[in-house]
């Protein structure tokens, strides 16, 4: 491995030339990649049930990088770290060249292929879904800014193993992504930068909060990785069919809307109104509605109704509360209205759903 601290003449997304820490990666695996990063930034690697975490507190970086390798051709690589210098990862894809499904939960980073000019560098912004793979023998360059808190989720697909174990219906993918998965000889590059997707953000946040331990933890994480991967693919599918939603909202406004949605989730019983949420967010009704439609495919009112019904269904499953108690605990005033919209959403009345739940427990 080559490690070089130097002044590299790279135009860092329109910024002046500056000192950068360069890490050259030529590993054969995700584990090898992290260990080569460790040689430069320091830290120690801890392992538990196949989950590895590099913990770092040095002059170059603070935070951690974790990775898990599964036998179906998938690796999870997560950054939760702040670099104190601008860092460039020069990744030689001769020995290890997966498809990268990348999502930036916090901060931003940048990418270009080795054959591209600096002007071809693209920015992976917060809440953006990105799919990247290089050709065999090529190079990927990842640029990480200094003093920026980074939370980046990367799902890496080793195509031959994945196709063998999991992807029997690969022809159901979009034509372009289909070609990427079947390119097991790694002859082509591919780079897709999608739109903002907060559903992926919520799923990745849940992945990071898994509290179980041991084998159950790994199995739970594995299932969530499959869900996140499917969400990346679904977004690409929609974009390929020109279903990409246009928006005038700024990234910071999308972040505010996400926080409003999380606030509603924490207390679904509260009597929310558009005026109140506009006051809370500082956004106009038009922007609030546009943001909810973009990120949650629902109006504000539809979103509130949806999370209340989900909460009601959980109460019916897990508590001894009667239907009337549940109705008022989630913020509805009319049991008949609740029953009507519950049946419309789940194709079963609340009472029948409760009976079926009780029957399953008894059995």
Express each pLDDT in 348-360 by its tens digit: 999 999 888 776 5
Q: What is the pLDDT of residue 11?
A: 42
Tokens of 230: 């499917």
Q: What is the pLDDT of residue 360?
A: 57
Left, alpha or beta for 80 (phi > 0: left; psi -120 to 50: alpha)?
A: beta
Find the mean pLDDT for residues 279-285. 91
> CB neighbours of 172 closer than 8 A, spacing ≥ 6?
none
Instruction: Assign 183 a pLDDT band (cuts: 50, 70, 90).
Output: confident
Q: Residue 32 above 60 pLDDT? A: yes
Find the mean pLDDT for residues 296-303. 88
Cα-only R_g, the chain:
23
Taking all residues of the chain, what is their mean pLDDT, rounded to a whole number? 86
Tell me how far the alpha carbon of residue 153 is from its chain's centroid: 6
Torsion sign over Cα 180, 186, 188, 191: positive
Q: What is the pLDDT of residue 179?
A: 76
Express each pLDDT in 75-133 by its tens digit: 999 999 999 999 999 999 988 989 999 999 999 999 999 988 878 899 998 888 999 99
Look at 171 and 254; give whichever has higher pLDDT: 254
Express each pLDDT in 167-181 by its tens digit: 555 555 566 677 777
Q: Residue 247 above 60 pLDDT? A: yes
Q: What is the pLDDT of residue 355?
A: 87
Look at 363 and 224; give whichever has higher pLDDT: 224
pTM of the model: 0.70
Q: What is the pLDDT of residue 277?
A: 95
Q: What is the pLDDT of residue 359?
A: 62
Look at 11 and 293; give whichever has higher pLDDT: 293
Find the mean pLDDT for residues 36-44. 97
Q: What is the pLDDT of residue 240?
A: 74
Look at residues 101, 146, 155 and name the one whose alpha carbon lies nearest to residue 124.
Answer: 101
Lowest mean pLDDT among 133-147, 213-227, 289-303, 326-340: 289-303
Look at residues 224, 221, 200 and name the one whose alpha carbon lies nearest to residue 105.
Answer: 200
Q: What is the pLDDT of residue 176?
A: 66
Q: Residue 8 above 60 pLDDT? A: no
- Residue 355's φ and ψ, nearest 5 degrees, are -65, -45
Look at 356 and 61; give whichever has higher pLDDT: 61
% of the chain exceeding 90 in pLDDT: 57
> CB neighbours of 86 closer than 8 A, spacing ≥ 6?
12, 18, 19, 20, 21, 143, 144, 145, 146
Instruction: Assign 3 a pLDDT band (cuts: 50, 70, 90).
Output: very low
Q: Residue 163 above 80 pLDDT? A: no
Find the mean pLDDT for residues 143-152. 95
Torsion sign over Cα 286, 287, 290, 295: negative
Block residue for tokens 């509260």 = 270
Q: What is the pLDDT of residue 306?
A: 93
Sheet holding 128-133, edge to edge: 44-48, 51-57, 61-69, 74-83, 150-157, 99-106, 128-133, 190-196
Instruction: Please list the alpha-helical segments (H only) found in the chain.
Output: 30-41, 159-165, 175-182, 198-208, 214-240, 251-266, 274-281, 285-296, 300-318, 323-329, 335-346, 350-362
Look at residues 173, 150, 170 and name the one whose alpha carbon lies nearest to residue 160.
Answer: 170
Q: What is the pLDDT of residue 104?
A: 93
Q: What is the pLDDT of residue 87?
A: 96
Left, alpha or beta for 51 (phi > 0: left; psi -120 to 50: alpha)?
A: beta
Tell me if 307 sits within 8 A of 268, measured CB to CB: yes
Look at residues 289, 358, 347 and name the one whose alpha carbon lies nearest to residue 320.
Answer: 358
Q: What is the pLDDT of residue 291?
A: 87
Question: What is the Cα–Cα distance from 154 to 131, expressed in whole angstroms?
Answer: 10
Instruction: Assign 6 a pLDDT band (cuts: 50, 70, 90).
Output: very low
Q: What is the pLDDT of residue 17?
A: 44
Q: What is the pLDDT of residue 167?
A: 52
């Amino acid at each position: 491995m080559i490690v070089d601290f130097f002044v590299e003449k790279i135009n860092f997304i329109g910024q002046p030339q500056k000192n950068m820490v360069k890490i050259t990666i030529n590993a054969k695996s995700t584990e090898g990649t992290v260990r080569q990063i460790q040689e430069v930034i320091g830290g120690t690697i801890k392992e538990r049930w196949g989950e590895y975490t590099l913990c770092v507190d040095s002059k170059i970086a603070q935070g951690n990088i974790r990775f898990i390798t599964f036998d179906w051709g998938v690796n999870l690589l997560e950054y939760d770290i702040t670099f104190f210098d601008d860092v460039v990862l020069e990744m030689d894809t001769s020995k290890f060249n997966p498809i990268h499904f990348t999502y930036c939960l916090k901060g931003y980073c940048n990418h270009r292929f080795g054959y591209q000019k600096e002007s071809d560098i693209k920015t992976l912004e917060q809440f953006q879904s990105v799919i990247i793979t290089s050709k065999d023998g090529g190079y990927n360059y990842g640029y990480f800014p200094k003093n920026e808190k980074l939370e980046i989720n990367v799902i890496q697909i080793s195509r031959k193993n994945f196709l063998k174990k999991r992807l029997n219906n690969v022809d159901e993918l979009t034509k372009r992504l289909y070609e990427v998965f079947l390119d097991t000889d790694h002859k082509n590059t591919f780079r897709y930068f999608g739109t903002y997707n907060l559903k992926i953000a919520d799923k990745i946040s849940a992945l990071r909060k898994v509290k179980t331990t041991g084998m159950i933890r790994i199995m739970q994480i594995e299932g969530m990785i499959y869900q996140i991967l499917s969400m990346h693919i679904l977004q690409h599918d929609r974009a390929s069919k020109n279903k990409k939603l246009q928006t005038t909202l700024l990234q910071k406004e999308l972040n505010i809307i996400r926080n409003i949605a999380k606030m509603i989730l924490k207390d679904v019983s509260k009597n929310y109104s558009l005026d109140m949420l506009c006051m809370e967010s500082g956004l106009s009704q038009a922007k609030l509605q546009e943001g909810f439609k973009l990120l949650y495919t629902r109006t504000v009112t539809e979103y509130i109704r949806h999370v209340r019904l989900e909460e009601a269904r959980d109460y019916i499953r897990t508590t001894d509360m009667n239907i009337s108690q549940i109705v008022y605990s989630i913020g509805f005033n009319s049991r008949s209205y609740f029953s009507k919209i519950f049946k419309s959403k789940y194709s079963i009345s609340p009472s029948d759903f409760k009976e079926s739940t009780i029957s399953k427990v008894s059995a």
